[in-house]
C-alpha cells in the first residue's frame, strides 16, 4: 500500500513497525501535493520545511521510545481559518492575505503537542461563508472525484485534501454544515462535535454561537482518534465544555443491536435527489439487519431552521467582521481620512459573499428590525432545540438523515444564485442551531460516480454513539481517479 493511501491507524502501525519513517511519510505527501494539487488546489500554503523538521523530531522521539500519541509523525492539514504560529492564516480573504498569527489555536496546539506534522493550510470559502469553496480569494478548489465539480464548503480544501490523499486528515470548521457537506461531496468522514466539545480559541470567528471545529478523515476510527486529542475544556475559551473526554475510537465497530435510530420525516422530501433517498433506504435496511430499531420521527420546526440560521449567522458575522477596519491588522488601503480608509479597506478586502452577509446581518441588527428578525430568530432556535431534546428524551440514540439535497454540483452552477446555494445547507444547519453533534460517513457512489454521504445526529456530548453507528455504515473507502 502506498504511504499516501494510509489511514491514521495504518500509518501509526507502520511507523511502530519501522516500515518507514515519519520523514519518509511526510516527503511522500509533499511530493504528492506537488504532483496532484495543481489539479485540485486544496492548499493555499504548503509548509514543507516546517513539516520535514516536525517529522524528523517525531522520528527522534520514536527512536528514544517517547512516542506521544497515534498521531505522532502523521502528516495533516489545517483549514486556513485556524491559527498556527508563524504560518499565514488568511481565511481565504484578501483582508488577511498577509496575516501571520503569533500564537496557536488550541486545537492545533493539542495536535502539535501530540506530534502531528503540519503540511500546510488548506483552501476554504472566504471567512467560511459558502457551500462550495468558490468564494476563496485565491481561487476555487475542485472535487477529486470530478474536477468540474465543487468539493463543497466552506471546508472544501480540507475534504479535498483528505479525499485526494494529500493529507491523512484535516481540521475544518462547521458553522452550518461546512465540515459535513464537503465530507458528503468528497467521500470522506466528517464530524462536527457538540458545541463546546472542541475549543474555538485561535479560530477566526464567523458566527460565534454556531462555529465548531470539526474533523475530516478517511475513516470513523481516524476521526475518533483525532477527536480524543483535540477535545476538552480550554481555559482560553469560556464556551468550551468541561465534560470528560472519552477514548472515542474504542466505540468504533461496536455492537449496535438494540440501539434506537430515528429517521426524521422532515428531511425526506422531493427536494432530496432520488439516489440519495434510495441510499438512505438501503442504510435503514442495513441498520435493521445489524439489530438496530429504526423508526420514523418528526422534528416539526425543521422548516424554519434555514431562514433562521441565515439571520442569526449573518448578524453574528456583521459583529465579528467589524474588527477588520484597516487600523489594527490585516489589509489597509490608504486614503485621505479615516472614514475613506475604512470604506476603501473593507471594499477591497472583502469578497461579494462576505459583503452580502455583512449587509444582511447589519440590517437584521438595525434599529426597528432587531426584534422582528434577530430576537425572533432566537425564539425559533429554542423551538428547534426543543424538538431534538424531545426526540432524545424518548430514548433515541441517534437520527439518520441525508447530508445535502444533491451530490457535488458543477463549478459555477450556483454562484449567481445565492438562494439556491444556501439551500445546500437545508439538512445541516438545524444541527448547528441546536448545538448538537453530527457525523457524515461515505456510503455509496451515485450513478455519476460522485460520493453520497449519510448524516447521523446525536444528543449533546454523545459523539461515541454516532461513531459506533457510523463505523458500521461507512463504506470501504471511496477513491477518486485522478488520472495520474
So which residues are the catalytic ones?
79, 154, 178
What are the helix (H) ranges across 187-304?
220-230, 274-289
Characterize the bridge pairing of strands 438-445 and 451-458.
antiparallel
Check if the beta carbon of residue 407 is closer than 8 Å to that of residue 185: yes
Q: Residues with Cβ < 8 Å from 161, sequence gap 6 or more? A: 40, 42, 43, 77, 122, 167, 170
Distance CA 469, CA 312 (A): 31
Terminal CA-CA length for the chain: 17
Q: CA nearest 108: which of 24, 49, 47, 165?
A: 47
- Residue 131 CA: distances (Å) to CA of 183, 200, 297, 342, 453: 12, 21, 28, 28, 16
Check if the beta carbon of residue 353 is closer than 8 Å to that of residue 125: yes
Distance CA 135, CA 132 (A): 8
Q: 3-state DSSP helix/strand/coil percent for the chain, to nearest 5?
A: 45, 15, 40
Say if residue 46 is exposed, middle or buried (CB neighbours under 10 Å; 0-12, 13-18, 19+): buried
Query: Residue 258 CB: number of other CB atoms within 10 A?
Result: 9
Distance CA 19, CA 11 (A): 9
Query: Residue 184 CB: number of other CB atoms within 10 A?
Result: 33
Helix then strand count (H, E) for the chain reads: 15, 11
Question: How far does CA 72 lie from the centroid of its chain?
Answer: 22
∠ Cα 405 407 408 (to 5°): 120
The answer for 482, left when phi > 0, alpha when psi is -120 to 50, beta otherwise, is alpha
Distance CA 60, CA 58 (A): 5
Q: Residues in the chain, how many?
A: 484
Q: Which residue bears the cell 470604506?
A: 343
Q: State whether residue 210 is helix, strand or coil.
A: coil
Distance CA 427, CA 174 (A): 13
Question: How far does CA 442 lie from the centroid of its chain?
Answer: 14
| Residue 253 DSSP code | T
Amino acid at each position: 500500500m502506498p504511504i499516501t493511501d494510509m489511514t491514521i491507524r495504518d500509518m501509526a502501525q507502520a511507523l511502530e513497525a519501522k516500515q518507514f519513517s515519519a520523514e519518509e511519510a511526510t516527503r511522500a505527501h509533499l511530493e504528492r501535493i506537488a504532483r496532484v494539487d495543481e489539479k485540485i488546489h486544496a492548499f493555499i500554503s504548503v509548509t514543507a520545511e516546517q513539516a520535514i523538521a516536525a517529522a524528523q523530531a517525531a522520528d527522534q522521539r520514536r527512536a528514544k521510545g517517547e512516542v506521544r500519541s497515534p498521531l505522532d509523525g502523521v502528516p495533516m492539514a489545517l483549514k486556513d481559518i485556524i491559527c498556527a504560529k508563524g504560518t499565514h492564516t488568511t481565511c481565504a480573504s484578501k483582508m488577511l492575505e498577509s496575516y501571520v498569527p503569533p500564537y496557536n489555536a488550541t486545537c492545533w496546539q493539542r495536535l502539535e503537542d501530540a506530534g502531528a506534522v503540519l503540511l500546510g493550510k488548506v483552501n476554504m470559502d472566504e471567512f467560511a461563508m459558502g457551500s462550495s469553496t468558490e468564494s476563496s480569494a485565491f481561487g476555487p478548489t475542485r472535487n477529486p472525484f470530478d474536477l468540474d465539480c465543487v468539493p463543497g464548503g466552506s471546508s472544501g480544501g480540507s475534504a479535498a485534501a483528505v479525499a485526494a490523499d494529500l493529507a491523512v486528515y484535516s481540521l475544518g470548521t462547521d458553522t452550518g454544515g461546512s465540515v459535513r457537506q464537503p465530507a458528503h461531496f468528497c467521500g470522506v468522514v466528517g464530524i462536527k462535535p457538540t458545541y463546546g466539545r472542541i475549543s474555538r480559541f485561535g479560530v477566526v470567528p464567523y458566527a460565534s454561537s454556531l462555529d465548531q471545529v470539526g474533523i475530516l478523515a478517511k475513516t470513523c476510527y481516524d476521526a475518533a482518534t483525532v477527536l480524543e486529542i483535540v477535545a476538552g475544556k480550554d481555559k482560553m475559551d469560556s464556551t468550551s465544555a468541561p465534560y470528560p473526554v472519552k477514548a472515542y475510537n474504542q466505540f468504533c465497530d461496536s455492537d449496535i443491536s438494540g440501539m434506537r435510530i430515528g429517521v426524521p420525516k422532515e428531511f425526506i422530501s422531493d427536494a432530496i435527489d432520488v439516489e440519495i433517498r434510495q441510499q438512505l433506504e438501503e442504510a435503514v435496511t442495513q441498520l435493521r439487519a445489524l439489530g438496530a430499531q429504526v423508526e420514523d420521527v418528526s422534528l416539526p420546526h425543521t422548516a424554519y431552521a434555514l431562514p433562521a440560521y441565515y439571520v442569526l449567522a449573518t448578524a453574528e458575522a456583521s459583529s465579528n467582521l467589524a474588527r477588520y477596519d484597516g487600523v489594527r491588522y490585516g489589509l489597509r488601503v490608504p486614503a485621505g481620512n479615516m472614514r475613506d480608509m475604512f470604506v476603501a479597506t473593507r471594499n477591497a478586502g472583502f469578497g461579494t459573499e462576505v459583503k452580502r452577509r455583512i449587509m444582511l446581518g447589519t440590517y437584521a441588527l438595525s434599529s426597528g428590525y432587531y426584534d422582528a428578525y434577530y430576537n425572533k430568530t432566537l425564539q425559533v432556535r429554542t423551538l428547534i432545540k426543543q424538538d431534538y431534546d424531545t426526540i432524545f428524551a424518548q430514548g433515541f440514540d441517534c437520527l439518520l438523515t441525508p447530508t445535502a439535497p444533491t451530490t457535488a454540483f458543477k463549478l459555477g452552477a450556483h454562484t449567481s444564485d445565492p438562494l439556491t446555494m444556501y439551500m445546500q445547507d437545508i439538512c445541516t444547519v438545524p444541527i448547528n442551531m441546536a448545538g448538537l453533534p453530527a457525523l457524515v460517513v461515505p456510503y455509496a457512489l451515485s450513478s455519476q460516480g460522485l460520493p453520497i454521504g449519510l448524516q447521523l445526529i446525536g444528543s449533546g456530548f454523545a459523539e461515541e454513539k454516532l461513531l459506533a453507528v457510523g463505523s458500521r455504515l461507512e463504506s470501504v473507502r471511496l477513491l477518486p481517479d485522478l488520472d495520474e
